[in-house]
Amino acid sequence: MKKLVAALLALGMLLLALSAYADGKSVSLTFEDDAYHLAFISADAADGVLTVKVSGFDGVMHMRNGKIVIPFWVYAVSGGETYGSTSVSCGSDGIYVYSVACGVIPDEIYIYAGDDENNSALLWQNTGEAEAAQESGAAIPAELVGSWQGTGIPESNGSDIALQITVNADGSGKYTFEQSGYVESYPFMLQSDSASFSVTIPADNYLSIVSCEGTYTYADGSLSLHIVTTFSGGGQYAYDAVCTKAQAPEFCGEWTLQTINFFTPDADNGIFSIDAGLSIAEGSTYGSGLTLNADGTITSDIDVYGLIEVIPQLPFSVPDLCLCNDTEWTYAEDSLSLAPGGTVLALAYDEAAAQLSLTFSGTVEIQSTTTDAGTTKGGPVEIEITLVLLRAETPETT
């Protein structure tokens, strides 16, 4: 029952996918032996670009030769013409956002795996409602945008739920909830003109849910939601949640990388040991800037992976430490989780010293090398790599 209530809350908080998109489909596709259940969320046309949102990626990242590979692409068909994707962004909420070179709401949208465009699946078909929905859609009020946290109270049985929500300016977002040790996250979208929400749910969902909808109100700094979930058997489950805006962590802001420290806890491992620091000069080819925004987004040009690859004294690879590929962050229990890469770094913040330390801990494969001095051993070794950053200087104003 605890898991059921928690899962219901998760699904209930997927805030509004536009009703014009009710004909969006759920499809099952495979990429590199991984099965995905993908669901259409929305499509919006503006300034000559069609933006398509698809859920179901679960933050999974595929890499080849140290580079991220996008598992699926979409294309649109309008008036008999085909328009392909020009770019894609992804986040830890499992939503991919595609940009398609089509300036109007199309007739159909397809999705396909890898380079196999000939084996595409129909993801969405225009019923004529999309343009009307786009024209009538109301902007999200500024007071709703941001991170929220609060407590969910079931109307019948079930324990309270700790809830965290992030609302973006376009109404999309994500939330994370915890109930009796059960934790789960889902994407959502919000519509402000009707102060209501509904959910686009995959047809093969675990709980056989056929709909999830409700209303919300905002007053005096509180966001209150009433959620009703309906099951295939006709049963319903209702609950209420009241949230207030969360304060951004003190470590948010702009940072500059100063030093990278390398340390093997087991110095007697017999393969490779190190306890040394590497200073990062301003203007480094491999970057030094990091910005952690209060809305959960991250921008960085730091590529520790690339730096390690060109230093012979570091005979290992750490693809996870390419921060320039990440776009979102979450923080819990002194750990910073990055997406879409999935890297988890231990975080230590020293306010007095204006210093931020991010530590990667894991196993690396030491590469065996041969030099004039002989052949070195290879094999797995535990290592800690710590990025030491200082607050970026704020330009003085006059």
When divided into structural domains, the chain yields a total of: 3
Residue 23 belongs to a domain: yes
Residue 280 belongs to a domain: yes
Please state, in angstroms and rounded to a whole number, the distance separating the CA atoms of residues 90 and 81: 27
Same domain, 145 and 264: no
Same domain, 224 and 321: no
State yes or no: pLDDT of 353 exceeds 90: yes
Same domain, 239 and 144: yes
Quick one: pLDDT band at residue 25, thresholds 50, 70, 90? low
Quick one: pLDDT band at residue 238, thresholds 50, 70, 90? confident
The letter for the amino acid at 10 is A
Q: Is the dihedral angle over the CA atoms 227, 228, 230, 235 positive or is it negative? A: positive
Residue 397 belongs to a domain: no
Output the pLDDT for position 130: 47
User: What CATH number does the domain containing 194 carry?
Assistant: 2.40.128.20
Contact predicate 5/159, CB 8 Å: yes
User: What CATH number does the domain containing 107 carry?
Assistant: 2.60.40
pLDDT > 90 in the chain, percent? 28
Same domain, 337 and 206: no
End-to-end CA distance of the chain: 61
Tell me the backbone φ, ψ of residue 95, rounded to 5 degrees.
-105, 130
The letter for the amino acid at 197 is F
Domain C-terminal end among 245, 271, 295 = 245
Output the pLDDT for position 190: 78
Contact predicate 98/106, CB 8 Å: no
Residue 339 belongs to a domain: yes
Same domain, 278 and 212: no
Residue 84 belongs to a domain: yes
Same domain, 258 and 322: yes
Residue 398 belongs to a domain: no
Residue 279 belongs to a domain: yes
Same domain, 235 and 299: no
Output the pLDDT for position 342: 80
Question: Under 8 Å CB-to-CB from 362, ≥6 apart: which residues?
Answer: 318, 320, 382, 383
Output the pLDDT for position 19: 29
Output the pLDDT for position 5: 35
Structural domain span for residue 208: 2-16+139-245
State yes or no: pLDDT of 284 exceeds 70: yes
User: Around 146, how many Cα atoms within 13 Å sit in the side-chain half-sphere?
Assistant: 15
Residue 396 belongs to a domain: no
Spatial CA neighbour of 61 closest among 384, 292, 325, 296: 325
Range among 13-22, 55-64, 106-115, 158-167 with highest mean pLDDT value: 106-115
Question: Under 8 Å CB-to-CB from 86, ≥6 apart: which residues?
Answer: 49, 99, 100, 101
The mean predicted confidence, pLDDT, of the chain is: 79
State yes or no: pLDDT of 397 exceeds 70: no
Write out the two tokens for 354.
Answer: 């204006």
Please state, in angstroms and rounded to a whole number, the distance separating the CA atoms of residues 138 and 351: 41
State yes or no: pLDDT of 230 exceeds 70: yes
Q: Which letter does DSSP use for residue 19 in this model?
A: G
Same domain, 109 and 146: no
State yes or no: pLDDT of 324 exceeds 70: yes
Quick one: pLDDT band at residue 158, thresholds 50, 70, 90? confident
Quick one: pLDDT band at residue 396, thresholds 50, 70, 90? very low
Output the pLDDT for position 210: 79
Same domain, 258 and 146: no
Same domain, 179 and 267: no
